[in-house]
Structure 1
Amino acid sequence: MSVLDTGVILAYFLLLIVVGILGAKKAKTAEDYALAGRNLGLFIYLGCLSAVILGGASTIGTAKLGYQFGLSGMWFVFMIGLGITLLGLFFIRQIYGANVTTISELLGRRYNQEARLISAIVAAIYTLMVSVTQVIGMGSIIHAVLGWPMTTSMLVGGGIVLFYTILGGMWSVTMTDIIQFLVMTIGIFFIMLPMSLSRVGGWEALSQQLSASHFDFTSIGWSSIFQYFLLYTLGMIVSQDIWQRVFTARTTKIARGGAVYAGVYSIAYALALSIIGMCAVIVFPTISDPQNVFASMSLAILPHGLLGLILASVCSALMSTASGTLLASSTLISHDILKQYWLKNMSDQHVVRLSRIITLVVGVIAIIFAIWIQDVLVALDVAYAILSGAIFVPVILGFFWKKATAKAGLYSMVISSLVVFAGLALEGLSSTKPIMYGIVASIVSMILFSYWRPASHLQPDHQVVIEEWEDEQKVL
């Protein structure tokens, strides 16, 4: 790293802080702070949505998988792109017009307030764990390029994101995300990818130097591909940080189109990072930690100045997801837990203040967890296992199965959450089995409790809730 590269990265950090301060001036109400006033156009919405789904694990993790498995390493982010595309095609219509702030609020309407509370807790844990992955990623990049201790690197990176997120909420996140989307697009597609291929002599030379398994799209194994589908495709559909971005769109058409375009962008991003990882096999035949592949490639092939820009682009991907998930977690806690049960009569100004305090607390916890775990993909697996295993089935059946009852939705979330946590404890944090256990437990619970206490035997007020939900879905 030269003084020029370090200067570029530090200047970029300073720019984000300044933009975050400017965004704070626009966050006047609770809706401004949580949803940027529900007023984003297509380009800004697309940039924000792409930035939040493609974070540190997507960038660092896909380059790592590309190094280890070749083109097959793209399945990780491919499934993220597939999930966001399916969300846009099949679910935006149901969720956008509901005029809610969180996924838990929608589940509260469909089932009951207890279901809202449980889902808020589960989704808040998920978003917290995704924030942890981004802090780990920022720490690994800063550690690799500046030589700072890993703990110090995570404190600096996480602290910057926490600062501008606290100030302006979704407005600050939106403004910084547009910058980050542009920087990461230019950095990955127009600089890092072509220069990586150039370093190894082009695509033809790469194909001659690597084994055939590196060009096999299934070399990572069908079990891993299925695991990514369970974790990320299903997780994207019921992810609070994604829904919160959907609610910022000005219209349903923008929300739907932007989600599909973001899914396509994600798949292209996955392919580009996998190829960069494959090039690293030629440049670094042996590397001590594959998680450092992207940073090592940047240091090896880029001239000064561009190196700083590329590393800033990686930090962009990390910071955008970190800020979005921090905000999502704090919104769930403040909007669906504290305000609903203890602080019911708060003014709008006090809600904004409370959201800032909760964002600070969540951010500090995320940094502490990041220092403890220090593995991007393990932390991300835990996050999506919790989300997909406990929330996916009640959300989907709530939309499409009229017989699903309030008690069934509640018990399903409680039982499947316990099953997922127990599975993670018994099988290990990186095991695929806990999420499958959770989904099976959730489906069985939904069916059993729905037929055991069918809608016709519900209390009158619960029957009214379901009828109102069905009428609302017909209108939407």
Structure 2
Amino acid sequence: MGKLDIIIIILYFTLIAGVGIYGARRATNSEEYMVAGRNLNFFMYLGCLAAVILGGASTMGTAKLGYEFGLSGIWMVVAIGTGVVCLGIFLSKKISRFKVLTISEMLEKRYNKETRLVSAIVAAIYTLMLTVVQMIGIGSLLNVWLGWNLPLCIIIGGGIVFLYTTLGGMWSVTMTDIVQFIVMTVGVFFLMLPLSLSKAGGLGTLNTDLPPAFFNLANIGGDRIFQYFILFTLGLMVGQDIWQRLFTARTPKISKYGTVSAGIYACIYAIALAVIGMCAFILLPNIGDTQNVFAEMAMVTLPPGILGIVLASVASAVMSTASGTIIACSTLISNDVVKRFFKPDINDKQFMLISRLTTVGIGIFSIICAIWIQDILVALDVAYAVLSGALFFPVIFGLFTKKVNARAAFYSIILSAAVILAGLGIQGITATDPIIYGLAVSFVSIVLLSFIPSKKAKGEASVRVG
């Protein structure tokens, strides 16, 4: 990297920090801090949601899959986009009826406080693991680009995200996400994609020089495509980091159409990244680590200055997801655990203080974990599996029917989580079967326990008859 590119990246990080700190002026109460006052217009909402669903894994991971499998590499992000589209079409209207801050708070309104607690724990673990992954991602990017010490890069990159998220909450996250959404769009669609195609010789060259299998959408394998949809489509539909964005929309109409638009954008984004990976297969046929496909292509195809902008767009993808997961994890812990079970009578000012202190704790903890743990993708896969398998049916039944009782929802989460963890331990963390078993256990336990009365219910019925 040249000095100009380094200066651009440093200026970009400075800009993001400044925008985030400025956004802190809007966070005057708990609703402003956690859900941006429920007042985002369509463009702000779209940019905010698109930025959080398309993180570093989506960007660099899809380029890698495009390099290895061609167009079939789109399926991971298409599964994410499909989950977001389904969320917008089928759930957003029902979700908007609940004036809540978290998915767990909604589950208490529908079931009971025990269900709220156990679902909050599951969701908080997932968002915490995702935060640590993003912290590692930010540090790794700076380490490769700037050549600085990795722990220092994690502290600097993660510290910027942690700083503005702590100060301004969702308002800072929203304002920085809009900047990051614009930089991502320009960097990928208007710079990296056309320049990669030009360097590779155009679409005609791709058609003639690439293996025929690269144009087969099933090349990656049907079992892997199925796993993506089970993990990411179902997981995105019940993820706190995504739901918290829904709560920021000004109207249910904005929530619905903005969510659908973000999902469609994700699918188009996937195609662009897969094509970039296919161009890399022609230009860089002997890459040692395919995880570096996007960065290597940027180095080869982009002139100084433009390179800095495109690399900043990758940083944008990682930072936007990190800030979203930090605020999501903080909200779950402060709202669904601390306030609900330990400090139920606190006023709004005290709640804001607790929320900020919780965000500080999560930020520091995630940075420490990122420094000491170099690869937690295994833990992330497990968290996603438990999130999808344990919470999907309790949430869906809770939104669409009143026949499911609290006891059924509570034990469904406990039993399905146990089955998934046991299955992953036996078959391995890449196995799909445990997720299927967990979903089946969740569904069956909800149905059976909803229609089999408990001893307490039988006793009450006997008293009424007597």
Matched, 1:340 2:345: no
Instruction: Quote the sequence identity (%).
Output: 55
Q: Deviations over 1:2-53 (max 9, x none)?
A: 1110010010100111111111111110111000000000000000010011
Distance 1:64 1:355 in 2: 38
Shift, 1:454, TM fit: 7.2
Alignment of 1:33-432 (within 5 A): 33-375=33-375, 378-432=378-432
Maintained 8 Å contact 1:57/1:377: no
User: Which residue in 2 is equivalent to 1:444?
Assistant: 444
Distance 1:334 1:459 in 2: 37
Q: TM-score, normalised by structure 2?
A: 0.95
Shift, 1:377, TM fit: 5.3
* Compared CA separation, residues 230 and 372, structure 1 to 2 (3 A): farther
CA RMSD between the two structures: 1.8
Shift, 1:280, TM fit: 1.1
User: Which residue in 1 is equivalent to 2:464?
Assistant: none
Shift, 1:379, TM fit: 4.9
Shift, 1:412, TM fit: 0.6
Distance 1:354 1:316 in 2: 28
Gaps of 5+ in 1: 461-476
Maintained 8 Å contact 1:57/1:376: no
Structure 1 window deviating more from structure 2 (55-64 vs 155-164): it is 155-164
Shift, 1:398, TM fit: 1.8
Distance 1:178 1:458 in 2: 55
2:26 aligned counterpart, secondary structure = coil
Structure 1 window deviating more from structure 2 (363-372 vs 193-202): it is 363-372
Q: TM-score, normalised by structure 1?
A: 0.93
Q: Deviations over 1:138-158 (max 9, x none)?
A: 223212211223333323221
Shift, 1:315, TM fit: 0.6
Structure 1 window deviating more from structure 2 (350-359 vs 160-169): it is 350-359
1:304 aligned counterpart, secondary structure = coil
1:303 aligned counterpart, secondary structure = coil
Q: Deviations over 1:430-451 (max 9, x none)?
A: 3323322321221122122112
Structure 1 window deviating more from structure 2 (208-217 vs 149-158): it is 149-158
Maintained 8 Å contact 2:382/2:421: no
Distance 2:458 2:119 in 1: 22
User: Which residue in 2 is equivalent to 1:28?
Assistant: 28
State the number of aligned residues: 460
Maintained 8 Å contact 1:125/1:383: yes
Maintained 8 Å contact 2:17/2:160: yes
Q: Deviations over 1:341-378 (max 9, x none)?
A: 11112121111111111112112232334345544754
Amino acid at match of 1:108: E
Structure 1 window deviating more from structure 2 (417-426 vs 300-309): it is 417-426
Amino acid at match of 1:178: I
Distance 2:354 2:257 in 1: 33
Shift, 1:458, TM fit: 7.8
Distance 1:455 1:363 in 2: 45
Gaps of 5+ in 2: 461-466
Amino acid at match of 1:16: I
Distance 2:239 2:379 in 1: 16
